[in-house]
């Protein structure tokens, strides 16, 4: 499942991050890496996806969230 498909309050784990080198550098520098656990805080249509991971609230645009594969717990 992709991060963009998660529901609010869902907990899970990041299984894959797909993208070019620029995207990978940017996303990993904010702590989004394979194996990291997260909680979706908010995922409304046409709004950024808010996730909580590594004691940080992160806002991702929908195009970036489309590139991140996750599993639910």
- The CA distance from 24 to 5, in Å, is 20
Q: What is the pLDDT of residues 59-69, one digit of tens each?
A: 999 999 999 99
Chain centroid to CA 66: how far?
Answer: 9
Residue 59 forms beta bridges with which residues? 50
Per-residue pLDDT reduced to its tens digit, 22-57 = 999 999 999 999 999 999 999 999 999 999 999 999
Ordered domains of the chain (ranges, CATH): 3-72 (2.30.30.90)
Categorize the per-residue pLDDT at 73 as very low, low, confident or very high, splitting at 50, 70 and 90.
confident
| Token pair of 65 as six digits | 């969230």
pTM: 0.92
At residue 19, the pLDDT reads 95
Residue 68 neighbours by CB distance under 10 Å: 24
pLDDT, residue 58, reads 98
């Amino acid at each position: 499942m992709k991060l963009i498909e998660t529901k609010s309050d869902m907990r899970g784990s990041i299984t894959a991050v797909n993208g070019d080198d620029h995207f990978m550098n940017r996303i990993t520098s904010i702590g989004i890496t394979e194996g990291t656990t997260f909680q979706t805080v908010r995922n409304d249509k046409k709004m950024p996806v808010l996730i909580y991971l590594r004691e940080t609230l992160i806002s991702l645009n929908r195009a970036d969230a489309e590139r991140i594969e996750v599993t639910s717990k």
